[in-house]
Structure 1
Amino acid sequence: MGRPRTPLLDRERIALTALRLVSEQGEFSVPQIARALGVQTGSVYHHVDGRAGVVELVRELVCDRIAGEALALEPWDRALEEWARSYRAAFAAHPRAIPLLMTTPVRAPRVLAQYERAVGVLLAAGFTRRTVMPLLTALENLVLGSALDLAAPEAMWEPTPDTPLLADALAAVGPNRADAAFDLGLAAFLTDARTLLAADRPA
């Protein structure tokens, strides 16, 4: 028998199509994926566990660009900084996926494995169990907010003659406002984390 005219349906093609739809319109539906791939909707469901399963495929596709190996660096704060920068870059490439992925529970095994490693890094550094998740959540908020900021128009403010201070401040920061803001926020986060670690350690 000859080869089929189109490649067989698989999870990777489903994920790539869903991510393309999200990048174009901020959302997707399983029937839209099926139409884009030229198959019946039921055929997609043979490969994924409903819409939630597609969301997790998209999550893995985006998060595969995060450098999980950064979490092996020493010391812990260097590992966390490099991981955060890689995390930001991965989501900045697909900013319209952020609302979708951050409002659904994380179930993708490869993504959970990265969080497991991050928790391990913080515990090994000496942070208490009660502080680990607030720290990771705060870092994630910073990273994802900055990823959205990178996708925003360069001129997010339009000063008027009545706002000369704002105009001067914008002129002073130049074209790298989003990067400067992220660097400042990340430095502040790490400084506070170091302070918290020192307070958690027994005297």
Structure 2
Amino acid sequence: MGRPRKALLDRERIGATALELVDEKGDFSVPEVARRLGVQTASVYHHVDGRAGVIELLRERITDAIDPGTLSDVPWDTALERWARSYRAAFAAHPRTIPMLMTSPIRAPRVLAQYESVAGLLSEAGFAPSLVLPVITGLDNIVLGSALDMSAPDTMWEVSEGAEAPRLAAAQAATSPSRADQAFDLTLAGFLGHCRDLLRTGPHQAP
């Protein structure tokens, strides 16, 4: 019998299967990934370093959907805004991965390469080294929080008859279906405005 043209198991299939599980139920285990692929758990461990390794495959798959070209050939603040929007769209497609990825160290080389580009952009713009990670972390918080918000119910504040919240009810009644997008635009604009102020006023050091 000839050898199969394609390997039965590889990192690509492991990552894709783990992402399917997380999209479906919010988590995965390595044995579950193995069962869905029809292989032994030990076979999965042959390709990845346990659960942490699979998490990095998830991170790579989602980050690959972020357009790195958004960081090129434009002023730093325009580049950050474009990158943030692409970043948000990538994670909005898989919101159940966010709690897992936000609480795990980033190790995947392809993902680190994108953050290296952002760090370089900020450094070249004039931000001090002590401010680069606070700015990146702040942008992460805005983007990932908004990506989660995009999967939330349209009505987040249910004001029942017994609740005394007339102004909240009126505000909710006046809110458009694009609330999540409006909130993201508002928060991102404020964040970038503050970053511009940091560069204008100096000193460019984290407090």
Scaled by the length of structure 1, what TM-score is found?
A: 0.95
2:153 matched residue in structure 1: 153
User: 1:122-201 alignment to 2 at 5 Å?
Assistant: 122-161=122-161, 162-200=164-202
2:20 matched residue in structure 1: 20
Matched AA of 1:9? L
Matched AA of 1:183? D
CA distance in 2: counterparts of 1:97 and 1:195, whole angstroms: 33
CA distance in 2: counterparts of 1:78 and 1:195, whole angstroms: 15
Matched AA of 1:184? L
CA distance in 2: counterparts of 1:200 and 1:35, whole angstroms: 56
Deviation string 1:145-170 (CA, Å, 9 cap, x unpaired) is: 00000010111111234322112111
Runs of 4 or more consecutive aligned structure 1 residues displaced over 3 Å after TM superposition: none
Contact 1:98–1:144 (Cα < 8 Å) also in 2: yes
- RMSD of aligned alpha carbons: 1.7
How many equivalent pairs are there? 202
SS in 2 for 1:155: coil
Matched AA of 1:57? L
User: Unpaired segments of 5 or more residues in structure 1?
Assistant: none
Deviation string 1:96-144 (CA, Å, 9 cap, x unpaired) is: 0001111100000000000000000001111111111111101110100
TM-aligned CA deviation for residue 68 of structure 1: 1.2
Matched AA of 2:42? G
User: Unpaired segments of 5 or more residues in structure 2?
Assistant: none
TM-aligned CA deviation for residue 173 of structure 1: 1.9
Identity %: 63
CA distance in 1: counterparts of 2:202 and 2:38, whole angstroms: 57
Q: Which has the higher helix share?
A: 1
CA distance in 2: counterparts of 1:177 and 1:140, whole angstroms: 20
User: 1:59-138 alignment to 2 at 5 Å?
Assistant: 59-138=59-138
CA distance in 2: counterparts of 1:67 and 1:148, whole angstroms: 20
CA distance in 2: counterparts of 1:19 and 1:147, whole angstroms: 16
Deviation string 1:8-65 (CA, Å, 9 cap, x unpaired) is: 1111000000011111111111100000000000111111111111110010001111
Contact 1:126–1:201 (Cα < 8 Å) also in 2: no
TM-aligned CA deviation for residue 7 of structure 1: 5.7
